Amino acid sequence: MYPERVVSGMRPTGALHLGHYHGALKNWVKLQSEFPCFYFVADWHALTTHYDESQVVEENAWDMVIDWLASGVDPAQATLFMQSRIPEHAELHTLLSMITPLGWLERVPTYKDQQEKLADRDLATYGFLGYPLLQSADVLIYRARFVPVGEDQVPHVEFMREIARRFNHIYGREPGFEEKAKAAVKKLGSRKAKLYNQLRTRYQEQGDEGALESARALLDEAQNLAAGDLERLFGYLEGGGRVILVEPDVLLTEASRLPGLDGQKMSKSYGNTIALREDAESVTKKIRTMPTDPARVKRTDPGDPAKCPVWQFHLTYSDQKTKEWVQAGCRSAGIGCLECKQPVIDAVLAEQAPMRERAQKYLDDPTLVKNIVADGCDKARELARETMREVREVMGLDYS
């Protein structure tokens, strides 16, 4: 019914680091050639925790978009936009809030976890509780098929699926649904209508998943039908009402976890990051002073890579041969730690060189970035408006 869209967002928290690159951005770059991708700056989400620093959000937002572009996110392929420029997200969030049980929000694991972790902030706000609901609106408004996120965000995608299901359940059951669905079947044309009915029966009577898939594929190709009729046919197929909001699936970002310089999670608050576009001298110094296996006090003391954060960097950056060289050299004290770090330094600098180069043109001319985002906003807004028209229609809010 809808192209297999991918939607993902990132909060503008300041300069991005290599953890963001390996944990998310690299995957965004890969996906942009496989699906229509919508990547946005979740600036309202930044306010859920940092409402008292709202003045820095804008600068962080533009910096972050430059980091995306530096990483290889390509505005000719992906749509880049800013959440707050599409107020339809807020409208959908408000309407969804009416049908969202408080218990569902309170039970999202990140709610209590984050409150404990950020204990220095007062997060007993509605905005913070509603974080996953705003995120749901971000995704559902584009009827996305996939949401690429890390492990920690899986409950949020689960949550948005439940919200979509609840919305469709409440508002997809229009009066005379059955008759309208049957009329829509006829509009497929006699050959496809017959096939649709057969597949539907096979699915509903025998639970044949293959038949369900085939019927969906048939509908994907039924371009001549109005959106409302397609929604009815998707719903009728499974025995429900209209499918107005699509339940998205998680696209788990393959865990190529790059920890911080000290071996903990790479995070600005731990002061253990390497920024995406950090200058070569500073990167070199940071890696040269990275802690290593504490057993290697003297050059002649053997060590164990498993106890060393430098080894984690080799896992991300080094080829098989280098890794074997590290394993053998560390355990036999055949190599020194500085020697061991050199291939990592070289690889990080090599990864960053094209990033710095790509960023330069945007740093020289910031209007380029603003134009990219303005174009992206226009594209996103058009889709968001279309969804909202239907949402209002099924809720009976399209007053004229």
Q: Does 369 bind ligand TRP (CB under 6 A)?
A: no
Return the one option of ligand TRP, ligand SF4, none that residue 293 interacts with (CB less than 5 to 8 A, by type): ligand SF4
CB atoms within 10 A of CB 261: 20
Beta strands in the chain (DSSP E): 6-10, 37-41, 79-82, 146-149, 249-252
Pairing of strands 249-252, 146-149: parallel
For residues 57 and 13, is the Cβ–Cβ distance under 8 A? no
For residues 237 and 133, is the Cβ–Cβ distance under 8 A? no
DSSP class of 21: I
How would you label 87-99 residue by residue, b for 16+ Cβ within 10 Å and e otherwise? ebbebbbebbeee
Contacts of residue 28, defined as CB under 8 A and 6 or more positions apart, other chains included, come to 8, 37, 39, 68, 71, 73, 78, 148
Task: State the minimum distance, in angstroms, from the CB of residue 109 to ligand SF4.
Answer: 34
Q: Does 383 bind ligand TRP (CB under 6 A)?
A: no
Q: Does 11 bind ligand TRP (CB under 6 A)?
A: yes
CB atoms within 10 A of CB 223: 6
Count of residues that interact with ligand TRP, criterion CB under 6 A: 13
| CA 124/CA 380 separation, integer angstroms | 32
| CA 68/CA 26 separation, integer angstroms | 10
Return the one option of ligand SF4, ligand TRP, none that residue 377 interacts with (CB less than 5 to 8 A, by type): none
Q: Does 27 bind ligand SF4 (CB under 6 A)?
A: no
Q: Does 362 bind ligand SF4 (CB under 6 A)?
A: no
List the one residue from 73, 140, 147, 369 that touches ligand TRP (CB under 6 A): 147
Query: Which C-beta is closer to ligand TRP: that of 216 or that of 381?
Result: 381
List the one residue from 149, 243, 266, 275 that touches ligand TRP (CB under 6 A): 149
Contacting range for ligand TRP; rule: CB under 6 A; set: 53-61, 145-153, 172-180, 187-195: 145-153
Residue in the block written with tokens 């920890």: 259
Return the one option of ligand SF4, ligand TRP, none that residue 278 interacts with (CB less than 5 to 8 A, by type): none
- Contact mark string toward ligand SF4, 317..336, x via CB under 6 A: ---------x---x----x-
Q: Does 292 bind ligand SF4 (CB under 6 A)?
A: yes
Return the one option of ligand SF4, ligand TRP, none that residue 69 interacts with (CB less than 5 to 8 A, by type): none
Q: Does 318 bind ligand TRP (CB under 6 A)?
A: no
Pairing of strands 37-41, 79-82: parallel
| CA 250/CA 186 separation, integer angstroms | 35
Q: Does 310 bind ligand SF4 (CB under 6 A)?
A: yes
Return the one option of ligand TRP, ligand SF4, none that residue 11 interacts with (CB less than 5 to 8 A, by type): ligand TRP
Contacts with ligand SF4, residue ranges (CB under 6 A): 292-293, 296, 303, 305, 308, 310-311, 326, 330, 335, 337, 340-341
